[in-house]
């Protein structure tokens, strides 16, 4: 069931301006750290996970620190340790900003929910008022025809998805819209795709399915309501 979530502290225009000022200041500090990468560098860069971090630390301790002759030309153990500190500081700053981004994302989800719930309440009220007011009835019909029509012309197919459920859809037409026709937040990801490419679709909105996403996984983020969506199929 959809409901309004109380917002204790609002993100006012003044707060938004303050955040923008601080973000601009942060850009002045961080932007000079940007390192442009060539296509070859982007393709060949090693993504070091926790196990490789442990290996790096073991090599530092057991070989590089113990046998100076093992150090690559131009590298000193002091330089390597300075890189270790730089990595730790970079990770810490990233965590700070990621935490702030997550908090803002959650705030946005709540505000977006509240706006939509209020809008649905207004639509329900319009349904009642429209019984005696032709103008309201006509306005309501436009909304319902645009957003609640169940037609499947042109290969569009309607689906429902259970509470907190996940469904895999095969044979999707890429570069076509997947429309969230329900009142829950949905996420979409290509089967065996990278989680960072996950697409979030809010109620009443649609997103283009990227080219090549033929088989997708759709997830309903709500733990209280079933979801619904429409997607073009081959």
* 179 burial via Cβ count (<10 Å: 0-12, 13-18, 19+): buried
Q: What is the pLDDT of residue 170?
A: 85
CA angle 148, 166, 208 (to 5 degrees): 55
Output the six-digit token pair for 139: 């306005």
- Predicted local confidence at residue 7, as pLDDT: 94
Residue 190, phi then psi, degrees to nearest 5: -60, 140
Conformation bin of residue 65: beta by default, left when phi > 0, alpha when psi is -120 to 50? alpha
Mean pLDDT of the chain: 89
Please give the pLDDT value at position 54: 93
Residue 154 confidence (pLDDT)? 54
Query: Secondary structure of the chain: what % helix, strand, coil (to 5)?
Result: 50, 15, 35
Residue with tokens 């007011």: 133
Low-confidence ranges of the chain (pLDDT < 70): 1-2, 147-154
State the Cα–Cα distance between residues 60 and 71, nearest whole angstrom. Answer: 10
Joined together, the tokens standing for residue 193 give 């795709």
Give the pLDDT of residue 16: 95
pTM score: 0.60
Q: Hey, what are 108's tokens?
A: 């946005």
Task: Identify the pLDDT of residue 218.
Answer: 92
Give the model's pLDDT for residue 157.
87
Convert 180-211 to b/e letters by CB count within 10 Å (16 or more is b): bbbbbbbebbbeebeeeeebebbbbebeebee
CA distances from 62 to 57, 68, 72 (A): 8, 11, 15
Where do the DSSP E strands lie in the chain?
156-161, 166-169, 177-180, 186-190, 199-201, 206-208, 216-220, 227-232
């Amino acid at each position: 069931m959809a409901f309004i979530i109380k917002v204790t502290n609002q993100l006012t225009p003044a707060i938004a301006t303050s955040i923008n000022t601080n973000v601009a200041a942060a850009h002045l500090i961080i932007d000079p750290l940007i390192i442009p990468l060539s296509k070859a560098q982007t393709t060949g860069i090693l993504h070091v996970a926790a196990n490789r971090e442990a290996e790096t630390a073991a090599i530092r301790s057991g070989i590089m620190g113990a046998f100076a002759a093992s150090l690559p030309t131009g590298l000193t153990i002091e330089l390597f340790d300075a890189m270790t500190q730089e990595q730790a500081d970079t990770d810490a700053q990233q965590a700070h900003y990621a935490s702030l981004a997550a908090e803002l994302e959650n705030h946005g989800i709540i505000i977006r929910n509240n706006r939509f719930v209020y809008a649905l309440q207004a639509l329900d009220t319009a349904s009642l008022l429209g019984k005696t007011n032709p103008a309201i009835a006509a306005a309501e019909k436009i909304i319902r025809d645009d957003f609640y029509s169940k037609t499947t012309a042109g290969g569009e197919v309607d689906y429902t998805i259970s509470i907190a459920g996940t469904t895999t859809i095969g044979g999707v037409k890429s570069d076509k819209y997947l429309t969230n026709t329900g009142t829950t937040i949905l996420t979409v990801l290509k089967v065996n795709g990278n989680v960072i490419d996950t697409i979030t679709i809010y109620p009443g909105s649609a997103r283009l399915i990227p080219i090549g996403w033929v088989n997708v996984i759709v997830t309903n983020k709500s733990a209280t309501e079933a979801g619904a969506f429409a997607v073009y199929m081959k």
